């Protein structure tokens, strides 16, 4: 599921879960554990990347639509992953090697710096197109990453963007050639790693404080509401229909 390598002060987490790094319970749990282990390690900064032409394709929709009981098990694991990544004390750079859609884009948005490889890779937040409402945490993570003037459009239209459009809308911070992606991500991570860790952690904590203060009192009720919405028969039917349309292309 994950390939972990250390290079000096930087630890790289390469997601390698199936063909598309689809988020399921097991992968969410594994990535959460890897992040917590990295936070407790001697690594000063992290790079998160994917494999091949995909950074992350979002939630495993086939499993999601198979069982209402699975939804109730999956969504808490997804929230735990996003929370761990977003509030991680150490700097983390997303090396977006290809498509980053829905949950995959949320993973990237939760990082401190996002670099997209030029090419055919598309990024976007497709939740409403799939037929599910945004979990509150995921929505707040994206809200604080995407340019404010483009945020509502990105949510409602659920469009995917390439290269320059992704940069202009704030989905990513910079574009590089594919051959330069990992090297550039490691350079940025090393620059952030050079900051005294306690000072970086304190600054990041203060940057994330408005989100934490908004989310903490609402997370429990919001999660219950999201579970109910995602496992409703009409939602599961919409997800199955989306999967069928996608497979038919």
**HEC secondary structure over 63-119:** HHCCCHHHHHHHHHHHHHHHHHHHCCCCCEEEEECCEEECHHHHHHHCCCEEEEECC
pLDDT digits (tens, 9 = 90+) for 122-131: 999 999 999 9
Average pLDDT over residues 79-102: 98
CA 45/CA 242 separation, integer angstroms = 38
pLDDT of res. 6: 98
pLDDT digits (tens, 9 = 90+) for 20-36: 999 999 999 999 999 99
CA-based nearest residue to 124, from 172, 80, 181, 177:
172
Is residue 249 over pLDDT 80?
A: no
Q: Global pTM?
A: 0.96
pLDDT band (50, 70, 90) for residue 248: confident
Beta bridge partners of 175: 116
pLDDT of res. 117: 98
pLDDT of res. 79: 98
pLDDT of res. 191: 98
Mean pLDDT rounded to a whole number for the chain: 96
Percent of the chain with pLDDT over 70: 100
pLDDT of res. 247: 73
Percent of the chain with pLDDT over 90: 97
Average pLDDT over residues 225-242: 95
Domains along the sequence of the chain with CATH = 2-180 (3.90.226.10)
CA 106/CA 30 separation, integer angstroms = 17
Is residue 205 over pLDDT 80?
A: yes
pLDDT of res. 60: 96
pLDDT digits (tens, 9 = 90+) for 167-199: 999 999 999 999 999 999 999 999 999 999 999
pLDDT of res. 246: 82
């Amino acid at each position: 599921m994950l390939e972990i390598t250390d290079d000096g002060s930087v630890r790289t987490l390469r997601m390698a879960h199936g063909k598309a790094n689809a988020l399921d319970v097991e992968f969410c749990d594994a990535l959460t554990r890897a992040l917590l282990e990295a936070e407790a390690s001697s690594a000063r900064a992290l790079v998160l990347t994917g494999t091949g032409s995909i950074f992350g394709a979002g939630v495993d929709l086939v499993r999601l639509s198979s069982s209402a009981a699975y939804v109730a098990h999956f969504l808490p694991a997804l929230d735990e992953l996003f929370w761990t990544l977003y509030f991680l004390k150490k700097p983390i750079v997303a090396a977006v090697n290809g498509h980053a859609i829905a949950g995959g884009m949320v993973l990237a948005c939760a990082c401190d710096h996002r670099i997209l490889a030029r090419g055919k890779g598309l990024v976007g937040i497709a939740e409403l197109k799939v037929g599910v409402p945004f979990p509150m945490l995921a929505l707040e993570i994206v809200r604080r990453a995407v340019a404010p003037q483009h945020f509502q459009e990105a949510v409602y239209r659920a469009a995917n963007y390439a290269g320059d459009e992704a940069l202009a809308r704030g989905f990513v911070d910079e574009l590089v050639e594919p051959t330069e992606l990992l090297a550039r991500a490691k350079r940025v991570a090393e620059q952030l790693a050079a900051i005294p860790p306690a000072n970086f952690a304190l600054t990041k904590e203060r940057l994330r404080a408005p989100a934490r203060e908004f989310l903490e009192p609402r997370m429990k009720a919001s999660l219950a509401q999201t579970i109910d919405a995602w496992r409703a028969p009409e939602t599961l039917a919409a997800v199955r229909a989306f999967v069928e349309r996608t497979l038919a292309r």
